[in-house]
Amino acid sequence: MNAIILAAGKGERLRPLTENKPKCLVSLFGKTLLEWQIETFHNQGIDDITIVTGYKSDLIKNPELKKIENKNYDTTNMVETLFCAQNELKESTIVSYGDILFNEEILKKIVNDTNDFSVVVDENWHDLWKLRFKNPLDDAESLQFDNNLFLQSIGQPVKKFEEIQSQYIGLMKFQNEGISKLKSSYQNAKEISKKESNPLNPKTNFENSYMTDLLNYLIKIGTKIKAIKISGGWLELDSMDDYELYQNLEMKNEIKKFFH
């Protein structure tokens, strides 16, 4: 099993912390986000780790990582960043956003899952979102699954909380036939987008598609994607508001409610 960390973005909402370094090198609770992830992967026996970089790529120098650069990071999004590393999509590959922290228990759950496609979702997301946003619905997106925990919708705009059964955290796994289906679906969608609107998201060009656009497209064409339910144990560092919130929670000894 191997891992790919997606860390190409500029992290503009985290400025001034990202003025001179990529988001994954921002420190939280005594370690950089990247150090937290590497440690968690190593502790679960995952030593084959690739990082896809972009903004300030030269500052990421960890010798134990394979580094692949998305040279078009400024004009592309998560899907294109992932496919810069498509040769690293092997028999069983965990993909993680570079701006999240997650504990070993969460990683263990997705490592042990046997489905071809699996995505970690937090059913206790609302407690953290209430602290992060004045109106949690402003940032939230749809996530719905059936009685067998297979996704039915992800990443769509929402107007009510009932459309959000859990929160997508940016951690997923593709394995076995899922790898070949992921690659072929990406290529097919890319070809379609050259002649018609972008099948992943008609509101943007193909290169700017989000990961949830790709996942939603896979669902639409009949792919079974398993939701791996968790209840807390992770954080997303997306903005200075997040950074200040987490620092305050740590000072009050309350961060363990969310990340431990």
- pLDDT reading at 236 higher than 90: yes
In a domain, 105, yes or no: yes
Instruction: Return the pLDDT at 212.
Output: 94
Residue type, 153: S
Which is it for strands 117-122 and 27-28: parallel, antiparallel or unpaired? unpaired
| Residue 95 within any structural domain of the chain | yes
- Whether 139 and 133 have beta carbons less than 8 Å apart is answered as yes
For 11-20, the pLDDT digits (tens) are: 889 899 899 9
Task: Find the CATH number of the domain harbouring 49.
Answer: 3.90.550.10
Domain-located, residue 216: yes
Range of weakest confidence among 45-54, 99-108, 153-162: 153-162
Our count of domains for the chain comes to 1
| 8 A C-beta contact, residue 237 and residue 33 | yes
Residue 23 has pLDDT above 90, yes or no: yes
To the nearest whole number, what is the mean pLDDT of the chain?
93
What is the predicted pLDDT for the residue at 148?
A: 95
Label residue 155 by pLDDT band (50, 70, 90). Answer: confident
In whole angstroms, give the CA distance from residue 247 to residue 251. 6
What is the maximum alpha-carbon separation in the chain? 55
pLDDT at 137: 77
Mean pLDDT for 156-165 is 82
- Domain residues for the domain of 46 are 2-253
pTM over 0.85: yes
pLDDT digits (tens, 9 = 90+) for 26-47: 999 999 999 999 999 999 999 9
Residue 260 belongs to a domain: no
Residue 36 lies in a domain: yes
- Indicate whether 23 belongs to any domain: yes
Is 258 among the domain residues? no
**259 within a domain of the structure (yes/no):** no
Is the distance from CB of 65 to CB of 25 less than 8 angstroms? Answer: no
CA–CA dist 253, 256 (Å, integer): 7
Task: Enter the DSSP assignment of 123.
Answer: T
Residue 1, classed as helix, strand or coil, is: coil
